[in-house]
Amino acid sequence: MNFVQDLSFVHMIQNASVLVQLVMGLLLLVSLMSWWYIFLKMFAVRLAVRQSEEFEELFWSQSDLNRLYQNSNVSSGETGSMARIFAAGFAEFAKLKKRPGMDNSAVMGGVRRAMRATYQREMDNLESHLSFLATVGSVSPYVGLLGTVWGIMNAFRGLANVGQATLAHVAPGIAEALVATAMGLFAAIPAVVAYNRYAYDITRLSSRFESFMEEFSNVLQRQP
Amino acid sequence: MSTLAYSYSEPYKLPAGVLALVVHGALFALLYFGVNWHNDQQQGMVVDIWDSLPAMRAEPAKVELPPPIQQAEPPKPVEPLKQAELAEPPKADIELAVKKKPKVKLPEPKPAVEVKKPPAQLKPAVAKISEADRVLQAAQAEQDRARAAQAAATEKIVDEYVSRIEAKIKRMVVEPPDVLESMQAEFDVILIPDGSVLSTRLTKPSGNAAYDEAVARAIVKAQLLPLPPDTSLFNRFRELHLTIRPKKKE
């Protein structure tokens, strides 16, 4: 008897049982999607940070809010979240100012609510898919583990039919099964890292937005 | 608020997708090329210790060896010949001079006889023939000597390999308990050029059937048997007579 096993990576996947292969396929899909979202979020967060910086610079350098509103409103798609919050607040302010008999605190309340609504929407957009990354990070190791446990069960069941059990009978099966765990971890680790990283970035952005909202409210309150 | 109504779509969808694919491609390539768990069954290493090794052993390619050696062999007899020729001429000259002396003396006493002149002319020719003979003989002797030396060298190699084969077989023998050191089993073994055993025949039993059987099994187990790399020597190994003795007991 000659146990010359060629345990190449592809070979191991090919030899695995159906359920293990299914688990591997699922993990591959999940991994692909999580990497896609990782890159999407990377670009989105970077863009949001850059646009916020640009808009803050513009906001503090420009004294004429009307001109700024025209600017930010015309290209509302490309100026970023902070510009949209500003536009929502300023539009509400302009509308309420035109109404007769509105006292200042009522105007400011309306402006705040408008800005808050836009802010919520922006945060929602920025945080979209982050929950997917969190889920992948926490669940895919378990999915991989399921595949591994199943594969090892099969390996041991095969051992029952052999009279003289040696490690050579079980080892390839276990190795194949462990590929599932490896894939689960491959999917999970980047997802967890990315989730933590983006959650931190987005929290910073949100605090930045909030402080901008406060500052902008003050500026509007000073408006005649 | 209507100005702010928009449907959100993430920027850079396509580049992100391409990058995700690239990451997976890279990962897969890394695993495919970088990770290859080979499970080659390690064969037990056998180490022979010999106090003298034939020089030819160093050459690894067995198949390519024979032609150069066969080509190299013919010149060898020629070389001694050349040496003989180089060495002979002075001798021949001296001999010629010695032979000429009587020849010079001969014509003086009998100048009148004209008939005898041809023999005088013949004599150098005869001398020349005998001289050529001698050269040839010397060359022959040289050749014989070279051949003998070569034969001795071949014999040495053959002996060495035969004892090597015997040692390898001896190592493989699982000796039954009641074996005496004085026993010896003789086998006729037919080999094929790669060193595997075609057939074995017990020619002289050791007196212990169990031992004979163990040796016969060991011969099969010991293949491929070590053969000299010079395949022209294989004819000496085709039918081999082996004498296997039990291992020395401490």
Domains defined for chain B, CATH in brackets: 64-244 (3.30.1150.10)
* pLDDT recorded at residue B51: 64
What gap in Å lies between CA A5 and CA A174, rounded to an integer? 13
What gap in Å lies between CA B119 and CA B113, rounded to an integer? 12
Please report how the helices A18-61 and A81-98 are oriented relative to each other, as an axis angle in degrees rounded to 10. Answer: 50
In a domain, A4, yes or no: no
What gap in Å lies between CA B31 and CA A180, rounded to an integer? 14
**CB-closest option in A4, A33, A43 to B40:** A4
In a domain, A21, yes or no: yes
Mutate to test the interface with A, among B19, B33, B40 (most CBs of A within 10 A): B19
Mean pLDDT by 10 residues, chain B (250 residues): 53 87 90 69 66 51 50 49 49 50 49 50 68 86 89 86 85 83 86 85 86 87 82 82 79
pLDDT tops 80 at residue A32? yes
How remote is the C-alpha of B138 from its chain's centroid?
30
Q: How many CA atoms lie within 13 A of A11 on its CB side?
A: 13
What gap in Å lies between CA A13 and CA A18, rounded to an integer? 10
Task: Taking residues A41-69, report their average pLDDT.
Answer: 87
Asked whether the beta carbons of residue A39 and residue B19 sit closer than 8 angstroms, the reply is yes
> Of the ranges A14-28, A61-75, A197-211, which is most confident?
A197-211
What gap in Å lies between CA B241 and CA B162, rounded to an integer? 9
- Nearest residue on chain A to B24, alpha-carbon basis: A32
In a domain, A119, yes or no: yes
Task: Taking residues A133-158, report their average pLDDT.
Answer: 90
In a domain, A2, yes or no: no
Other C-beta atoms lying within 10 Å of the C-beta of residue B173: 22
Going from the C-alpha of A154 to that of each of A8, A17, A168, B13, B23, the distances in angstroms are 20, 8, 15, 41, 32
In a domain, A117, yes or no: yes
* pLDDT recorded at residue A3: 43
Q: Which residues of A touch B (CB under 8 A)?
A: 2-10, 28, 31-33, 35-40, 42-44, 47, 73, 76-77, 84, 87-88, 91-92, 114, 118, 121, 125, 128-129, 175, 186
Give contacts of A2 with chain B, Cβ < 8 Å.
41
Question: What's the gap in Å between the CA of B11 and the closest CA on chain A?
Answer: 6
The total number of structural domains that make up chain A: 1
Q: Which residues lie below 8 Å from residue A136, measured CB to CB, with a gap of 6+?
A: A30, A31, A33, A34, A187, A188, A191
* pLDDT recorded at residue A73: 62
Q: Which spans in chain A are helix H? A: 9-15, 18-61, 65-74, 81-98, 104-127, 130-160, 167-222
Identify whether B224 is preceded by a cis peptide bond (ω within 30 of 0): yes
* pLDDT recorded at residue B200: 86
Asked whether the beta carbons of residue A9 and residue B13 sit closer than 8 angstroms, the reply is no
**CB-closest option in A9, A28, A43 to B16:** A43
* Max Cα-Cα span within chain A: 98
What gap in Å lies between CA A196 and CA A211, rounded to an integer? 23
Residues spanned by the domain of A138: 9-222
* pLDDT recorded at residue A222: 84
Decide: residue A222, CB within 10 A, 0-12 exposed, 13-18 middle, 19+ buried: exposed
DSSP run (H or E) holding B186: strand B185-191
Contact criterion met (CB below 8 Å) for B214 and B222 = no
Please report how the helices B209-221 and B117-172 are oriented relative to each other, as an axis angle in degrees rounded to 10. Answer: 110
Name residue, tokens 């209507």. Answer: B2
- Percent of chain A's residues with pLDDT above 90: 43
* pLDDT recorded at residue A17: 83
Contact criterion met (CB below 8 Å) for B13 and A40 = yes
A and B: number of Cβ contacts within 8 A: 82
In a domain, A92, yes or no: yes
Buried b (16+ CB within 10 A) or exposed e, B192-228: eeebebeebeeeeebebeebbebbbebbeebbebbbb
* A110 SS3 class: helix
* pLDDT recorded at residue B58: 43
In a domain, A85, yes or no: yes
Contact criterion met (CB below 8 Å) for B197 and B225 = yes
Phi/psi class of residue B3: alpha, beta or left (left: φ > 0; alpha: ψ in -120 to 50)? Answer: alpha
In a domain, A28, yes or no: yes
Asked whether the beta carbons of residue B37 and residue A125 sit closer than 8 angstroms, the reply is no
Kindly indicate the confidence band of residue A72, based on its pLDDT and cuts at 50, 70 and 90: low
pLDDT tops 60 at residue A180? yes
Contact criterion met (CB below 8 Å) for B81 and B143 = yes
